[in-house]
Amino acid sequence: MHKRPDHEGTTSLHCRVIQRLQQSPSLRGALYLGAAVGIFETIGRLQDRDQAHALVRFHLSLLPATLLVTRAFAELRPADRAAWVQLDLRSGARAFLGGAGLGSGALLSMLAVAATRGWVSAPEWGWAQVTPQTVAGAVALNLVGHLAVAWNEETVYRGYLYDTWSMALTPAGSAALLTALFALAHPLRPQTLVGEAALGSALLLLRIASKGLWAPVGYHWAWNVLQTAILGPADGPPSLRPLHVAGPHRWVGSPGQPDPGLLMTIINAAVALGLAGWLWRRRSTASADVS
């Protein structure tokens, strides 16, 4: 005589797990982060990290998994589901363009300062070294690929995890933890950690100020695209106007690589401070209106 599987027991366990996840934002966030890291490592091991445009190819492969995992976790709670399913393309596009404009202005300001010091130059077009078709292909890949880079990283660090851990750690605690994790996801060098923390702070405050992910995705995308597709490293893949770096590494870093110099750090810190000041004034004005 065969025993029947205990379907009721399995169903009951499943319901208890789901209920526990619904009730614990700390646990939801930890499991989501674990899933994201696991997928990141798995796909990373399958990629050739020495190929041209390795980063954007990796993130293009990662994008479907990021969307699926985030949607699966958002389905755990009706409030999360509503927040992640609602999509206003018109307002989203405006926020994206605003973020892209701010990111472009920040990066170009840094390069302008470096250029006045004689630290960087872009004396020729990319097709002076390779065919226009090769340049066009590289630019197109970076334009699309860095959209995946920005979307993946903003969804994890400034999206689901920020919303979820804010319930458990307060928004300030969640912001501090995720900014640190974002920095630690890059090469573990002091200058890099500080620079990436400054970028992460600017992106997070832009997410708070704009009340959504579109603006930080736009900032992140423009920041990366200008350093790769438009003014990419002269010794890297083809770009529209290859950038030659002659200045001190401490100040200039390695544009196009996760290796920010002090100029990048200062610019992003200034953006973060500006956003923080704007948020403080907005809150003060709202409090005065209520009074």
pLDDT in tens, 1-52: 455 555 566 677 778 888 888 888 999 999 999 999 999 999 988 888 778 8
Give the pLDDT mean for 148-167. 95
- Answer whether residue 29 is part of any domain: no
pTM: 0.91
- Answer whether residue 253 is part of any domain: yes
With bands split at pLDDT 50, 70 and 90, how would you rate the model's confidence at 66?
very high
- Cα-flanking dihedrals φ and ψ of residue 56, to 5°? -70, -35
- pLDDT for 147 equals 97
- pLDDT for 1 equals 46
- Answer whether residue 42 is part of any domain: no
- Answer whether residue 23 is part of any domain: no
156 in Cβ contact with 177 (< 8 Å): no
- Answer whether residue 248 is part of any domain: yes
How far apart CA 161 and CA 175 sit, in angstroms, is 10
- Answer whether residue 246 is part of any domain: yes
Q: What is the pLDDT of residues 218-237, one digit of tens each?
A: 999 999 999 999 999 999 99
CA 140 from chain center: how many Å? 20
223 in Cβ contact with 106 (< 8 Å): yes
State the total domains in the chain.
1
Give the pLDDT mean for 44-67. 90
Alpha helices in the chain (DSSP H): 7-23, 25-46, 54-74, 78-85, 89-116, 132-153, 161-184, 190-210, 214-225, 249-252, 262-290
For the chain, report the end-to-end CA distance as a whole number of angstroms: 76
* Range from 7-11, 94-98, 122-126, 143-147 carrying the lowest mean pLDDT: 7-11
- Answer whether residue 64 is part of any domain: no
- pLDDT for 229 equals 96
Beta bridge partners of 233: 243
What are 70-75's contacts with CB under 8 Å, separation 24+? Answer: 70/32, 70/155, 70/156, 70/159, 70/160, 73/28, 73/31, 73/32, 73/35, 73/160, 74/160
Beta carbons within 10 angstroms of residue 209's beta carbon: 16
- pLDDT for 8 equals 60
> Does residue 151 have a pLDDT over 80?
yes
- Answer whether residue 34 is part of any domain: no
* Domain, as residue range, for 97: 89-290
* 220: its two tokens: 């992140």
